Structure 1
Amino acid sequence: MGDTIHFEDFTKVDLRVGTIVAVDDFPEARHPAYQLTIDFGALGLKRSSAQITALYTKDELLHRQIVAVVNFPKKQIANFMSECLVLGAVSGKGVILLHPEVSIKNGTVVA
């Protein structure tokens, strides 16, 4: 388990639901990854790099809703600027994406 944080720390993390609208290969990445474009509704489109090639094909990801942190600073990954962090559970087989059980409006806050 990680360090204990205060509730006020958690409230600073902006978690939102978004829909993946584009998936591209990312051959420049150090580890196999995709470049994702995600629609967060009123927040607009954001891009992210995700090391999820072991469990997901590009077709399986397209139009899938996910949960992401949208208020981290941008991060340069190879020649790509990542604007959000897609969340997943790490298993022995790879990263399993977190997602809502039912379709929900893009940009919805996760609490």
Structure 2
Amino acid sequence: MEKIMTFEGFSKVDLRVGTIVEVNDFPEARNPSYQILIDFGPLGIKKSSAQITTLYSKEELLDRQIVAVVNFAKKQIGKFMSECLVIGAVDNKDVYLLSPEVRVKNGSTVV
């Protein structure tokens, strides 16, 4: 283990399930990326940039449920404002999106 975190520290991370409702190319990004809009139900729709173009087509991503951190500070990426961080497992340089095993309500918390 490299870094130790307390339960109190982890409890500050707001992980939620959302459904991808729009996917666009992001040609201005340094690395190949998509701009995605994610519906988090009662939290609304949030934007994110994700470097997931090697494993996922835009069509595959539409209506897919994912897990994201929704309480990070917004981050400006070129002219795009990212509002959440999509969570994935990294294997070499490929990112595999994390998602619930079954469909759940948008905005559901991840514990």
Common fold, TM-score beyond 0.5?
yes
User: Which runs of 5 or more structure 2 residues have no equivalent in the other structure?
Assistant: none
Where in structure 2 are the equivalents of 1:1-111 lying within 5 Å?
A: 1-92=1-92, 94-111=94-111
Q: How many residues align?
A: 111
Structure 1 alignment gaps of length 5 or more: none
Q: Secondary structure at the match of 1:16?
A: strand
Answer yes or no: is the 8 Å Cα contact 1:54–1:93 preserved in 2. no
**Residues of 2 paired with 1:77 and 1:98: CA distance?**
23
Partners in 1 of 2:43 and 2:2 — Cα distance? 30
Aligned-partner Cα distance in 1 for 2:93–2:44 = 32
Q: Distance in 2 between matches of 1:92 and 1:3?
A: 21
Alignment partners' CA distance in 2, 1:103 and 1:67? 12
Letter in 2 for 1:63: D
Aligned-partner Cα distance in 1 for 2:2–2:62? 33
Render the CA deviation track for 1:52-94: whole Å, top value 9, x for unaligned.
0000000000000000000000000111000000000001251
Q: Which runs of 4 or more aligned residues in structure 1 lie more than 2 Å from their structure 2 counterparts after TM superposition?
A: none
With the length of structure 2 as denominator, give the TM-score of the two structures.
0.98
In the aligned structure 1, how far is the partner of 2:51 from the partner of 2:39?
19
Secondary structure of the residue aligned to 1:72 is coil
